Amino acid sequence: MSATAARPPAATEVDQWLERFGAALERGDAAGAAELFAEDSYWRDLVAFTWNIKTVEGRAEIADMLEQTLARVQPQGWHATEEPTTADGVTDAWIEFETAVGRGKGHLRLISGQAWTLLTVLDELTGHEQGLGPRRPKGVAHGANPERQTWLEDRAREAEELGHTIQPYVVIVGGGQGGIALGARLRQLRVPTIIVERNQRPGDSWRNRYKSLCLHDPVWYDHLPYVKFPPNWPVFSPKDKIADWLEMYTRVMEINYWGSTTAKSAAYDEDAGEWVLVVDREGEEITLRPKQLVLATGMSGRPYTPEFAGVDQFQGDQHHSSAHPGPDAYRGKRAVVIGSNNSAHDICAALWEHGADVTMVQRSSTHVVRSDTLMDIALSGLYSEQAVAAGMTTEKADLTFASLPYRIMAGLQVPVYEQIREHDADFYARLEAAGFQHDWGEDGSGLFMKYLRRASGYYIDVGASELVANGQIKLQPGQVDHLAEDAVVMADGTELPADLVVYATGYSSMNGAVADLISQDVADKVGKVWGLGSDTTKDPGPWEGEQRNMWKPTQQEGLWFHGGNLHQSRHYSLYLALQLKARAEGIDTPVYGLQEVHHTR
């Protein structure tokens, strides 16, 4: 664009674009609509057009998606909901639209009058809205009624019937924060649902973790759907406090939660179109027959422990980090923690605080970001007290985040981590001088991309790095060869004397939960869970553009995955709940672009 060319005001630019776009869609002109996008462009759709979570890239893919969905979706009424803004040549707009079955929201970025990114999300199904705000339940039927049932009686009856004389439409296996958030969404959508959870009480998956654990993400990022943390809630929730919150939440959100219940086996009955799910509820075997089965068994649900020779010879205590009881019993003892990511650092620091002699075994490089810096530089625009003061709501922050297609997200993250690198240059220099192998992700895109790609390989520093830098936590690089009676022996022969060995070696994919509960065949059919296909370590290509299998239809009919951190669990639970509700109501839900399976685990 020449320096003198007058750029139309952002609002006019957006209105004109939406008008042309809406008109092309209304006349069924997929190619014409795609022409309104830049050559290098992205349309991310959460359920509204595709009944899927799908990003299409470039005009040809956009046209294809529209050709296959437009006649059914019948989108209309495109308009901006607030004054668009322009910065650095990019015009940003919040938008709304309607489809044949629901109401949608979205976000648009225009460059030189062409769409660079478009996000469309289904927000509600017409006629099946959530009972919120003006639609809230009355809670009482005024008048006189000899058959009157109280709220408590209704709840008791529901608990007696559901799963016994009435089958739930959905069963969620796993009642951690993921299962609970989805359960709350489905409750508002009036989808009969049971959560089965092996632990006794909601929140136990946090309670059972090592005692020093506090969330690494700040409170603004962590709200659950519908019920926000109060303003006095600490920035970083201690694990037992968040557990109590989840327990309270489960109760007040009226979730049908079967604690002390283990899902033992599940098989899909093709003829009946439903699952045969066998659970053990406090010793009683019950068979449930839901139409939809959601696995919310946790990204960190299946501990992974490498098989080292000599573990049966070792005379001290040894356990995976998920089973670490905390440091109290190890005062004055020699502890070797194998691993150098979040859990390893937290456990090492707590052991050091309790007077143990601690060695961290670093087997591969780790990305470290100081918590304060991460909050200031990476999160503060969307999730912080300043963001709240500037009018940023959690919903808007989540949609802003969702509006960035994964293909471009890594590139946008690189400058953020360059800034962090500069900001904390002394810190990184000291860490590396201590021998700590540090990386920024293979393309320099830092922590969040590592999380999305492989959910491992990083530490959000809340203090342990200082102990590593000053040598108070000893660092041992290299690979473990075997365990001796009283030591961990490294491949180069170095012996690390040990009374305690902690395997902070991570977790295996949720795909394994499918194999455990259903079958290896179904696990292979569904494929790897998590990752984007970025062709980086632990996230092999080809590029898939969305997180594998999460919150969207899978290759196994009626099988879904839910989870992720509190932010993802909050945000994506809505779109998964809407997909389930639509099926419960018999709405036609043809899936565009069902993901292919490239990796089995």
Ligand X SMILES: Cc1cc2nc3c(=O)[nH]c(=O)nc-3n(C[C@H](O)[C@H](O)[C@H](O)COP(=O)(O)OP(=O)(O)OC[C@H]3O[C@@H](n4cnc5c(N)ncnc54)[C@H](O)[C@@H]3O)c2cc1C
Give residues in contact with ligand X (CB under 6 A). 173-179, 196-199, 205, 209, 213, 215-217, 262-263, 296-301, 342-343, 517, 563, 565-566
Q: Which is nearer to ligand X, 69 or 205 (CB)?
A: 205
- Alpha-carbon dihedral angle through residues 7, 9, 15, 16, given to the nearest 10 degrees: -20
Q: Which is nearer to ligand X, 209 or 583 (CB)?
A: 209
Angle between helices 406-423 and 425-433 (to 10 degrees): 80
Q: How far is the CB of 103 from ligand X (least distance, A)?
A: 28
Q: How far is the CB of 561 from ligand X (least distance, A)?
A: 9
Q: How far is the CB of 596 from ligand X (least distance, A)?
A: 25
Given a contact cutoff of 8 angstroms between Cβ atoms, the answer to whether 475 and 435 are in contact is yes
Q: How far is the CB of 393 from ligand X (least distance, A)?
A: 19
Q: Which is nearer to ligand X, 120 or 297 (CB)?
A: 297
Provide the β-strand partners of residue 118.
Answer: 43, 108
DSSP H or E run through 479:
none
DSSP H or E run through 106:
strand 102-111
Q: Which is nearer to ligand X, 579 or 589 (CB)?
A: 579
Burial per residue of 144-179, b for 16 or more beta-carbon CB atoms within 10 angstroms, e otherwise? eeeeeeeeeeeeeeeeeebbeeebbbbbbbbbbbbb
Q: How far is the CB of 379 from ligand X (least distance, A)?
A: 12
Q: Which is nearer to ligand X, 106 or 176 (CB)?
A: 176
Given a contact cutoff of 8 angstroms between Cβ atoms, the answer to whether 510 and 504 are in contact is no
CA distance 195 to 72: 33
Q: Which is nearer to ligand X, 182 or 488 (CB)?
A: 182
Enter the tokens of residue 361. 């075994």
Q: Which is nearer to ligand X, 235 or 597 (CB)?
A: 235
Provide the β-strand partners of residue 536.
Answer: 539
Q: How far is the CB of 564 from ligand X (least distance, A)?
A: 7
Q: Which is nearer to ligand X, 117 or 297 (CB)?
A: 297
DSSP H or E run through 100:
none
Q: How far is the CB of 264 from ligand X (least distance, A)?
A: 7
Residue by residue, what is the 3-state secondary structure of 410-436? HHHHHHHHHHHHHHCHHHHHHHHHCCC
Q: Which is nearer to ligand X, 302 or 421 (CB)?
A: 302
Angle between helices 239-252 and 177-188 (to 10 degrees): 20
Q: Residue 391 in 3-state DSSP?
A: coil
Q: How far is the CB of 296 from ligand X (least distance, A)?
A: 5
Q: CA–CA distance from 113 to each of 117, 160, 170, 356, 402 (Å)?
A: 12, 59, 44, 62, 22
Q: Token pair 């509190």 is at which residue?
A: 566
User: Going by C-beta distance under 8 Å and a sequence separation of 6 or more, which residues neighbour residue 404?
Assistant: 117, 412
Q: How far is the CB of 260 from ligand X (least distance, A)?
A: 9
User: Going by C-beta distance under 8 Å and a sequence separation of 6 or more, which residues neighbour residue 445?
Assistant: 409, 410, 411, 413, 414, 417
Q: Which is nearer to ligand X, 205 or 549 (CB)?
A: 205
Q: Which is nearer to ligand X, 286 or 594 (CB)?
A: 286
HSE at residue 576, side-chain half, CA atoms within 13 A, is 34
Q: How far is the CB of 269 from ligand X (least distance, A)?
A: 19
Q: How far is the CB of 346 from ligand X (least distance, A)?
A: 7
Q: Which is nearer to ligand X, 457 or 563 (CB)?
A: 563
Q: How far is the CB of 34 from ligand X (least distance, A)?
A: 37
HSE at residue 541, side-chain half, CA atoms within 13 A, is 6
Residue 346 CA, distance from chain mean position: 22
